Structure 1
Amino acid sequence: MSLTKLIYTFVMLVLLYACAPSAGENFPPENGITITLPSDDPYSPKQVRLEVITENIIRVTSSPLDTRPVNSSLMIIDQLPSPPAWEKTETADSVGLQTAKVQAWISKSTGEVTFKDASGKLILQEAKAGKAFGPPADDLEDDAVFSIQQRFKSPENEAFYGLGQQQTGLFNYKGYHVDLTQYNSVVAVPFMVSSRNYGILWDNYSITKFGDDREPMPLSELRLFDANGKEGFLTATYANDPNRPNEGLKEQEGHIAYTFLDDLNKIPKDFDMANGTATWQGSLQARESGVHRFHMTYSGYVKVWADGQLLVDRWRESWNPGPLVFELPLDTEKATAFKIEWIPESTQSFLSVKFLPPDRYRTTETYAFRSEAGKMLDYYFVAGQDMDELISGYRQLTGKAQIMPKWAMGFWQSRERYKTQEELLSTVAEYRKRHIPLDNIVQDWSYWPEDAWGSHDFDPARFPDPVGMIDQVHDQYHAHIMISVWPKFYEGIEHYKQFDEKGWLYKQNILNRQRDWIGEGYISTFYDAFNPGARELFWKQINEKLYQKGIDAWWLDATEPDVLSNASIQHRKTLMNPTALGTATEYFNGYPLVNAKGIYHGQRATNPDDRVFILTRSAFPGIQRYGAATWSGDISARFDELEQQIPAGLNFSLSGLPYWTTDIGGFFVEDKYDRPDPKGEALEEWRELNTRWYQYGTFTPLYRSHGQYPYREVFNIAPEGHPAYRSIVFYNKLRYRLMPYIYSLTGKVHHDDYTIMRPLIMDFDHDPRVGQIKDQFMFGPSILVNPVYHYEATNRDIYFPKETGWYDLLTGEYQAGGVEKNIEAPYDKIPLFVKAGSIIPFGPKIEYTDEKPADEITLYVYAGQNGYFELYEDQGSNYEYEQGQFSIIPLTYDENTKTLTIGAQEGEFEGMLTSRTFHVIYVQKDRPTGYKPDATTEKAIHYTGQSMALKLDEE
């Protein structure tokens, strides 16, 4: 080659490299179409682009700039599938592209995008002038960053799900304002699925509002009347004697806005928050008649009445306020009596009340995504035949969920906290002594010396031999140990200095000299997880201090990041500003994703044979690819809190994130439970609460008990003969018998993009009744779970989805579908029903997941319709399944011939069983047979991997 050609080639390569897209920018121009929209408005869209990702996924981007900005994505994987064939079509007023499954069209005049199926049927349409850009929040001085909004049209009967984990008790978000802001117990995941079988993944990292994106208004925007009927304000009374709540300081107030720490300065100085009661009384009158939605943030005790009817009666620990939404119809002609009672219980407690008036356009006819900051509008439209296909599309974009280590699907015991090495070891020993299955013991925070948060050192006074402790958990007790690791560092410790010298710490909290709540208080801050070098250093520190000692898994707490609890959102931004990628305003919600990323890649590089397992308090799209699960945060120990965890978990699952759990029993407790010990009625309520929560927790993807005192171990909740003890242990052992079923589901999560905890809308979407059911769900394909969440309840209403039959798991009694019935639910029983056509494998009696291989499996086969199940197995703790090292045994039931076929085993892995025994129990409508742990049967099959068939209706 000549020198000229060499120079030319070199220059072209340089130019190609310089213009190459960054991570997440894997879409060459030929994969889509772009139109330009001439406008002099600096905040109008100048260009709109459609890009083909797969046959059913289209990316939409838009910008008010003349040139398309480079927008590196954190949530989208680097290597997307090769785009399929597609065709461009143009008409006089629009240009479109079409794949084998979807069409997408852009209006040449407005830039509005419309999505249709392959036949031309409308799926989704952007609203008129739905794209909106504006100055970014916080007046960022960056001409390339904007606030961003996209509004879509929506039929009245459409329903919306997903969006992470909210704590409002809502399931269908149609018409509601949803605040996607990371917060302790609230997880912001900007992925929504629609009842019309499409999803929207919103690629933005800033604080985002969904649905009715208006900001809630102060009460003063209504017509207010005080206790005497005078218009203008409500009558506020701040009473220091709770027995005389109507006697105290009187104020005329139109705002109730004690939302954050700074707002507490507005509390009357003479009010004794720790012991007093505040009330607001008067009446409300609408400026526009209709249903008003009220948004509260509260801690302590709060009650709300309207026209004498109690609407709200809640409690939360003062230091962690939670959200609450309720509706109230208001009229322009008639005032509604209104009263709020607040018992703060603490000098740091919070209450705010705002509302949104009716607006048909924003609640019924359209919905929106609105974000505070971003370089461009960027979203992915995902179409599908059902919600499983939508979630599969989400994971094609953001990454496969790994298969969790098998032990993680067993029971975890935790408390806040094991204060000594002896406490932790004696707890595991007691489980083994009582033969109660257990796989994981969790060491919560503050195992380090008091003044050394972030050192990752064990306090030698309380944990004199951490290596010996961990070895004993492993070798003697055959269990695993997870440990709490925060991204937090006390000023001056060695690990702090290592970050500080690189400039990898958020320093504002240090400059503020802000002290935390430990002892007399210590000054601290968090590391910048958006910086790759900082992530590597964080892994290096926990690897040297903890992983090398034998720690099995990571509990990543406060990953919002919660640098200062209850600070205002604006102040929280200053405490993580700037990040390595840009301002905190732009990247506020993305911290948990990059924090988990560093640990996942760090551990896989250190020990490629050990499956990473992470439990993180917050999450973001893509975090499933980093071996991460999420729990529902620091929730309260109450029945009403248990109730609202059910829709919270279901929507989390519909966000594409398959692994979720709660603190069984709730984390923080009312005084009646812990000062000094619950007694009498409080003790029995405590035991029943934990019993019902354990029953529910058995059938969530991860099974984990945790919380403040009283201690959460079953033997500390109730004595052995108590019904609480018997029930908790029974369902624990049932979970372990179900391990072949459960672990098969984890394999399906990875290989088929499956979802374990399944709202009924996923499997019965043709049944119009299921779209609003938020307190029942399927655990895998077969088991209908119906939690009990009211104190002293002994029955509950259950809807049985139509087009199938149902069998009571414990009795085998049959129930036809398509009806709602009141079903008995005694103290010790959660109603569980099995779908007709199910094949459920139950394994042998074990006390930890790898105690013995499932060489004997009992197959319960439920007649009524055809059935299919794949028994999945792999090594259980390594990543060889990624290279195809796993096996599947297909199980098929034919209703017409009453034949069970155990198909030929497919695949192999090291240590795989080459033979086993299948016992078969056939459950029929007229021959009910309930689950029994050690049921015997004459139908037994010795299986060596070849296909075998068994007629089930023969005696």
Structure 2
Amino acid sequence: MPYDGQVYLWPDNQCSNPLPLLPFMITFRRLFTIGFHSLFVVCLLLGPIVPTLASQGEGPAISRRESGVTITYQGMATAVDHELALDVITDRIIHVVARPLGNTVQPSHSLMVVDSLRRTAGPWQLEETGDQVLLKTPVLTAQVAKATGAVTFLDKQGQPLLAEHPRDARTFTADAYDGDAFYRVRQHFTISDNEGLYGLGQHQNGVMNYRGRQVTLLQYNTMIGVPFLLSTNNYGLLWHNYSITKAGDIRPLLPLSAFRLYSKEGQPGWLTATYRDKDHPESVWLSRPESEIAYLYLDDQSRLPDSIDLVRSQVTYEGALESPYSGLHRLHINYSGYLKVWIDGQLQEDRWRESWNAGSFEVPLAMEAGKRYAIRMEWLPDGGQSYFGVQWQRPLSNSDQTRFSFDSEAGDGVDYYFIAGEDMDEVIGGYRHLTGRAPIMPRWAFGYWQSRERYKTQQELEDVAREFRRRRIPIDNMVQDWSYWPEHDWGSHAFDSTRFPDPEGMIKRLHDQHYRLMISVWPKINEESSVYPLFRDNGWLYMRNIYDGRRDWIGKGYTSTFYDPFNAGARQGFWNLLNEKLYQKGVDAWWMDASEPDIHSNINIEERKSVMQPAIGSSARYYNAFPLLNAKGIYEGQRHTDPNNRVFILTRSFFAGQQRYAAAAWSGDISSRWHDMKDQIAAGVNFSMSGAPYWTMDAGGFLVEKRFHQPNAADLEEWRELNARWYQYGAFLPLFRAHGQFPYREPFNIAPEGHPAYNSMRYSIELRYRLLPYIYSLAGSTHLHHYTMLRGLAMDFPRDARALGINDQFLFGPSLLVSPVTERGATSRALYLPEGTGWYDFYSGTYHRGGQTLEASAPYERMPVFAKAGSIVPLGPAVQYTDEKPADEITLWVYGGADATFTLYEDEGTNYNYETGKYSTITFAYHEGTKELHIGSRQGTFPGMLARRKFHVVYVQPDQPHGIDTASRITKTITYSGKEERIMLNKTNK
């Protein structure tokens, strides 16, 4: 390739190009009458000079830059015209951007990656072979194919981790929305045969391992899209895009009519839909053929029969399905109301969701091409507007089994960060290096939270708070849900003085009883709100919903819209409002509801985009980032107003980087049903594996069937059992919070004292408080070392193939294997104990070998919890609230069978002094070979730190079982004053 006449300067200290150099020669085409096929460059004595790497034949143009390399493809038969840039961020992180040549699309504002991103890479190399360009760090290689531009990432042993498919004509598709020009962007990757894939936010389909599955990255009530993928092969991919994105198997879902359908009489072409009176099923109102079931949004309701009253209906779809494909199919079903699905007479699902808040699930179905499969679906809409849709995925081909893709609606190019690590925790550390370190939540946040929808008066809330203290049930946090304002004044965040006559006094009295108060702060403002003119006149609102005239469901119904957090002035204005009306009255924490934004429920996605007009660009480009900017405004506002008081934010939606704003997520308006409880397990764990450490859900479920409002005896006992099981599960989450619609959600309103449900809920709360030293230490490690508290089994057992897809168990920290009970009436459950270690029953101390499926005891008042052999679990004293007293006596449960370490973290609990190093750590190490426990010297100090304390040691071995429910024998007691101690655990206490 002839030289283009340019001189390229080599950056300082980077004159170590491994290619052959011809000293002191610079070639210029103007000086010669022939072209050169190779360009040789040198470092001149004048200082560093930089050339490009040689380009061979008709290959791409390659330019080294200070932080990486740019490779330009133009006019090549083997590659689409585009510019590929790779930048080294750290030794383990490489940023990849590919954009079309002649690109006129404006680059996106970077929101998820921190402004202060540090490039900390050591020396890296750029090499060229005949057909490859290699960008190498000490632990990671990006190998670029010269012919196509496809990038393959290799570990330090040269083994492939992930490989791009070559970009083609469908990678960049020019598009526009609301005057914003962009590309629809698609990138395929090749994955290995046996890796597990996790993260991608929170989804309600019960899927743990996303290999071969489709995931929609979209902010929606109960759904959270976070574009971060985590692999058991110890890499992650942060897809740097803010638009609605399909990930994984991105092939379009097929409509029901893509099957060959048969009516219940066997006629080809449709299913038979029969509409009946649900109270008199023998009364048939209408029977008609239906080949599409797609009643997904408000504007689909008109396609339901005009003459049918959905509230009174039972709809049955009957017939058969026949596929042109053989293999594993997946039915994707969206629904509200009651829905049962049978295939060939076998009940597959029995579900319920409130009519206005549709849920989703998948039904796997192995089918043979040309064979009929009987289907029957019974739908009870349970509301005037209900939703039901059926789509499906055809089987994956063999080649598609190793493909994982991203397909985004809007962007300025392919843009992602590849992160490698020694383990999955280190990969998440790389993600947080890019998107921000997670602050430590205030210590009181790790106590128990009580909420209901809703405390309607000041009196109600205070009565509940007093009752907890009277019954001596531990608790730290009360929650005031929405509508504490006058009906018309949604958005003012002003207390309704008729129901909350003395909010300052109420909050002071709560504080005096050692409570904190969290309050609901919607980003929504009614047109009749007292603050509407201020926000409208400053251009801080999305005005389309006002002009569309949509009304909400409160009182007479009010037109409303949301403020625009992409506007810095609007963020400040919103914080000023919260500060004046709430924070200055003593409110401690923020509950950011509807932060998708849910400007109007159940409108379709295109309409959702039309009512959102971000200040920085189109909603098509920035749709998923609303919750990130919403949290940013409150976090920065409070830290500016009150710099040393820890922020706590609970938000219904979440995006990449939001952890840096002290934000936790909860899983939205799920139903009080066993199936929804089970679905939360995979939803929460995958959210945590997306790099977001703080997650919770409404223990007990939010939406409640009418049968529980005035229950018969059987329904009442199911309600109590359901809540008992949900509390058991909730106690082992980063945050433990009960919430939901009527019936009231306090333990004493669910069951009377002495009832097994009451005993169980109380036990779960009390155990939570004893676990505080363990939990708060995990929070410290989350901030200091990017740890993940809520862990999929794959994080600690990535080579145990049986663990990779388990969706109903998780690890809470390094030591505790948690297996919630999600079936009514169960007194045992099958669970898997991962291989490579032993496991102790947490309650009894009974030992079990790993690598086996166990039918574990699960009596009404306990769910199975196992401690890993080679663990140290600190339990603190029983307390009524987190700051009742210092943990001056801690019991160290040491589980033998392998070496173990644990670091106890402590600080002041409510301020940011830890950011300047004011905290302490004590590291415990158990050595299995010598049976010795080493208590290290205390590192660090902070105001109020205990100078002396006692450690009681309980040593658990296979032949010496001790559990937290047994009369355990203390092996040793040590009075600790900060100096190291060594204790032999095979000698008895004296």
Q: TM over 0.5: same fold?
A: yes
Deviates more, 1:105-114 or 1:197-206: 105-114
Q: Distance in 1 between matches of 2:970 and 2:132?
A: 67
**CA distances 1:533-578 after superposition (whole Å, capped 9, x unpaired):** 11011000000000000000000000000000000000001111x2
Q: Distance in 1 between matches of 2:399 and 2:334?
A: 23
Partner secondary structure for residue 248 of structure 1: strand
Q: Distance in 2 between matches of 1:138 and 1:572?
A: 17
Q: Distance in 2 between matches of 1:470 and 1:428?
A: 11
- Per-residue deviation at 1:128? 3.4
Partner secondary structure for residue 204 of structure 1: coil
Question: What is residue 200 of structure 2 aligned with on the other side?
Answer: 163
Question: What is residue 343 of structure 1 aligned with on the other side?
Answer: 380
Pairing 1:420–2:457 present? yes
Pairing 1:90–2:125 present? no
- Per-residue deviation at 1:134? 4.2
Pairing 1:648–2:717 present? no
Question: What is residue 308 of structure 1 aligned with on the other side?
Answer: 345
Q: Distance in 2 between matches of 1:925 and 1:404?
A: 37
Pairing 1:783–2:819 present? no
- Per-residue deviation at 1:155? 3.0
Pairing 1:605–2:640 present? yes
Give percent identity, aligned residues only: 52
Conserved 8 A contact 2:341-2:350: yes
Conserved 8 A contact 1:222-1:285: yes
Partner secondary structure for residue 736 of structure 1: helix
Question: What is residue 12 of structure 1 aligned with on the other side?
Answer: none
Pairing 1:892–2:928 present? no
- Per-residue deviation at 1:623? 0.4
Q: Distance in 1 between matches of 2:64 and 2:636?
A: 28
Amino acid at match of 1:523: T
Question: What is residue 500 of structure 1 aligned with on the other side?
Answer: 536
Question: What is residue 371 of structure 1 aligned with on the other side?
Answer: 408
Aligned 1:218-297 pairs, distance under 5 A: 218-244=255-281, 247-297=284-334
Conserved 8 A contact 2:843-2:966: no
The structure with more radius of gyration: 2
Conserved 8 A contact 2:488-2:528: no
Partner secondary structure for residue 514 of structure 1: coil
Aligned 1:112-511 pairs, distance under 5 A: 112-129=150-167, 132-135=170-173, 141-143=179-181, 145-244=182-281, 247-360=284-397, 363-475=400-512, 477-511=513-547
Q: Distance in 2 between matches of 1:154 and 1:672?
A: 48
Between the two proteins, the alignment pairs up a number of residues equal to: 923
Conserved 8 A contact 1:167-1:648: yes
Amino acid at match of 2:142: A
Deviates more, 1:92-101 or 1:332-341: 332-341
Conserved 8 A contact 2:274-2:284: yes
Q: Distance in 2 between matches of 1:510 and 1:142?
A: 23
Q: Distance in 1 between matches of 2:327 and 2:984?
A: 62
Question: What is residue 713 of structure 1 aligned with on the other side?
Answer: 746
Amino acid at match of 1:840: V
- Per-residue deviation at 1:284? 1.2
- Per-residue deviation at 1:136? 5.5
Q: Distance in 2 between matches of 1:827 and 1:404?
A: 32
Partner secondary structure for residue 30 of structure 1: coil
Q: Distance in 1 between matches of 2:562 and 2:443?
A: 32
Q: Distance in 1 between matches of 2:325 and 2:985?
A: 66
Partner secondary structure for residue 406 of structure 2: strand
Q: What TM-score does the superposition give when structure 1 sets the normalisation length?
A: 0.95
Aligned 1:411-810 pairs, distance under 5 A: 411-475=448-512, 477-576=513-612, 578-674=613-709, 677-810=710-843
Q: Distance in 1 between matches of 2:389 and 2:175?
A: 22
Conserved 8 A contact 1:743-1:872: yes
Q: Distance in 1 between matches of 2:844 and 2:380?
A: 47
- Per-residue deviation at 1:874? 0.5
Partner secondary structure for residue 494 of structure 1: coil
Q: Distance in 1 between matches of 2:209 and 2:835?
A: 21
Conserved 8 A contact 1:870-1:888: yes
CA shift in 2, pair 1:121/1:245, >3 Å: farther
Conserved 8 A contact 1:175-1:362: no
Partner secondary structure for residue 311 of structure 2: coil
Question: What is residue 105 of structure 1 aligned with on the other side?
Answer: 143
- Per-residue deviation at 1:70? 3.8
Conserved 8 A contact 1:871-1:890: yes
CA shift in 2, pair 1:466/1:934, >3 Å: farther
Q: Distance in 1 between matches of 2:76 and 2:287?
A: 55
Q: What TM-score does the superposition give when structure 2 sets the normalisation length?
A: 0.91
Aligned pair partner of 2:74 in 26, 38, 53 = 38
Amino acid at match of 1:558: A
CA shift in 2, pair 1:505/1:62, >3 Å: same
Question: What is residue 112 of structure 2 aligned with on the other side?
Answer: 75
Aligned 1:822-901 pairs, distance under 5 A: 822-901=855-934
Q: Distance in 1 between matches of 2:373 and 2:574?
A: 56
Conserved 8 A contact 1:284-1:330: no
Gaps of 5+ in 1: 1-26
Conserved 8 A contact 2:489-2:530: no
Q: Distance in 2 between matches of 1:126 and 1:602?
A: 42
Pairing 1:919–2:957 present? no
CA shift in 2, pair 1:332/1:681, >3 Å: same
Deviates more, 1:931-940 or 1:877-886: 931-940
Gaps of 5+ in 2: 1-62
Q: Distance in 1 between matches of 2:383 and 2:64?
A: 58
Conserved 8 A contact 2:319-2:375: yes
**CA distances 1:25-54 after superposition (whole Å, capped 9, x unpaired):** xx994111111111499x945111111111
**CA distances 1:855-913 after superposition (whole Å, capped 9, x unpaired):** 11111111211111101001101111111110001111122221112110000111111
Conserved 8 A contact 2:328-2:365: yes
- Per-residue deviation at 1:492? 3.7
CA shift in 2, pair 1:236/1:334, >3 Å: same
Deviates more, 1:87-96 or 1:199-208: 87-96
**CA distances 1:319-345 after superposition (whole Å, capped 9, x unpaired):** 100121112223332221122211101
- Per-residue deviation at 1:936? 7.0
**CA distances 1:672-729 after superposition (whole Å, capped 9, x unpaired):** 101xx22300000000000000000000110000000111100001111101111111
Amino acid at match of 2:658: I
Q: Distance in 1 between matches of 2:813 and 2:666?
A: 19
**CA distances 1:565-607 after superposition (whole Å, capped 9, x unpaired):** 000000001111x211111111111100000000000000000
Conserved 8 A contact 1:245-1:279: no
CA shift in 2, pair 1:938/1:232, >3 Å: closer
Question: What is residue 96 of structure 2 aligned with on the other side?
Answer: 60
Partner secondary structure for residue 740 of structure 1: helix
Deviates more, 1:77-86 or 1:317-326: 77-86
